[in-house]
Structure formats: C-alpha cells, structure tokens
Amino acid sequence: MSSRLACNEVINHAAYPIDETDNPARQQVIEQVKRELAADGCAVLRSFFSEAGLQALLAEATQRKSETYYSPRKLCNVYLNDGKPEFPEDHPLNVFIPRTNGFITADLFGEETTAHRLYYWDPLKQFLAECLGKDELFIYEDPVSNMIVNVGKPGQQFNWHFDTNEFTITMLLQGASSGGIFEYVPGLRSAEDECYDEVKGVLDGDRSRVKPLQLNAGDLQFFLGRFSLHQVTENTGDNDRLLLIMSFSEKPGMVGSKARVQNLYGKVTEAHAENTVRADKLVD
C-alpha cells in the first residue's frame, strides 16, 4: 500500500515550485503561462506531475471508471442547452452534434483523494490566479462538476462546445493511443458578442482557425474555455482517454445551470436549484 503523497510531491516540484512564492523559477513559469494565454487563451506546462503523482491520480480515476456517467442524450449544441425553437433550424443554437464521452463526477472523489486535495490546495489556486493576472480566484462551487474526469472510450468523442466557467485547467492522465486530440478555436466569442456566424462557420467545417494541441500524460493545460470553442476528437485508439478537469471562477458562488448539469452528469443537488451566477450574459 502506497503512502499518501503531499501536494508538493504530486507535482514535478523541481520544475514547478509553485508553493515557493519567492522562488524565481516560479515567477518564470508564471510569465511563460501569461505569454501563452495572451497569445491564444491556452497554455501548457509539460510534465507538471511527478511520476508518483501521476500514478496516484490515474489510479483514482481508474478505480472510479465503472461509475462514469454517460448522458442518454447523444446530440448536443455547442452551448449544451436545449436550443431555441424561435431561431432558424441551422442557427448554432439549434445545431445538435454527437457527444458520447462520459464523466466521473466530483462527488465521487472524497476529501482524502489526491485529486480532491490538489484541487483545494491553496498554493495551486494562488499560482493560477497569478498566471491569470487576478488578485483572487475562486473554486467553481458546483458540487457535481467542479473537479471531474472526462472519460473517452474508443469510439467516443466530445464535440464542439463552450464551457460554463471562464477558466479551466486540465491534466491528461492517460492519452488515447490514437485520436482523442484536443482542438480549439481561440477567442471565437467574447463576453459581449456570441459571434454566431463564426460559430456556424466552424460547425460547417471551416478549419482555418482550428488549432490542434498534442498533450501527453502528466501535462497541465490552462484553458479559457468560455470564449474558445473546443472539442476532443474521436478516440480511434484501443485504450481509454482520461482527463482530469479542475474549474475555477472569478466570482464566488458559481454553479452550472440545472438543465446542463442534469444532462451532462446525470444528477443535481440543492445548489442547482437557485438562479445561476454568471459574469456575462452569454447563452452558456
């Protein structure tokens, strides 16, 4: 039986001393992330985890794989909502495309798990806030979806969509042997403008602004998914793709909309009963 790893042992501390605020190496990493995020809303820290940390996180996800939730709804629009019948049939709100991946939800990771402890580790949150140039960052308070594992079995995909929360970090725990590629369109919409024509262009097959990103197990990816349309292509390999996703917000008290959380994760809590807090007026 392995002993429990401290959070600074879960990460590749020699390269990423994120809990040492006076370490110049930490500042260099922050500057690198800031540059990459400013360029296109995405940044990658290669081999962010220690080998032991990656194995611990992978084991936790693997142990819970049988509890993965697959939505019975296999067609979704990019807003992961019900669409709007008053808009034309070919409007992006009413274009429904296949989404077949599943999720291991946050409530299945108890407080003792490495994933849970890492998500609530203050030095991580502080580091992320500085990378984003913000005074403070908040835990996404959705008890079902704030820290989840995206499961992509062979043949499954997570088609084009926008995220609810402004900011997500993802950590690939196990890549697909083929396919399962993350692709994104940087800054396709803004908080002020849905840019429906541009969204429709991508749905119609325009790949001129699409950027694929090769991720390896143990990499940490920063992503501004509220404004950049993104997808994971079909897993054409013979193993499961497992991706740990941690979400944060600029505002406290954010949770997913009741309909979206029910559809994606198959359960809601009392937290989903109230009106949802958003930093913008986008359709989700």
78 or 131, CB closer to Fe ion?
Answer: 78
225 or 256, CB closer to Fe ion?
Answer: 225
Token readout for 88 is 């034309």
- Least distance in Å: CB of 161 to Fe ion? 6
CB-CB contact of 261 with 268 (8 Å):
yes
Helices and strands of the chain, counted as H and E runs? 7, 13
List, in sequence order, every residue forming a beta bridge with 230; answer none if it has no partner: 161, 184
* Binding of residue 179 to Fe ion (CB under 5 A): no
Interface with Fe ion in residues 120-139 (CB under 5 A): none
Q: How far is CA 193 from CA 83, 169, 187, 211, in A?
A: 18, 24, 11, 21
16 or 223, CB closer to Fe ion?
Answer: 223
When CB distances to Fe ion are compared, the closest residue is 163
* Binding of residue 163 to Fe ion (CB under 5 A): yes
What is the total count of residues that contact Fe ion (CB under 5 A)?
A: 2
Which residues, in sequence order, are CB contacts of 114 under 8 Å at separation 6+?
Answer: 4, 5, 10, 53, 56, 57, 60
42 or 108, CB closer to Fe ion?
Answer: 42
Interface with Fe ion in residues 195-254 (CB under 5 A): 225
* Binding of residue 284 to Fe ion (CB under 5 A): no
Q: How far is CA 49 from CA 5, 12, 115, 172, 239, in A?
A: 12, 5, 12, 10, 21
- Least distance in Å: CB of 9 to Fe ion? 29
Residues in contact with Fe ion by CB under 5 A are 163, 225
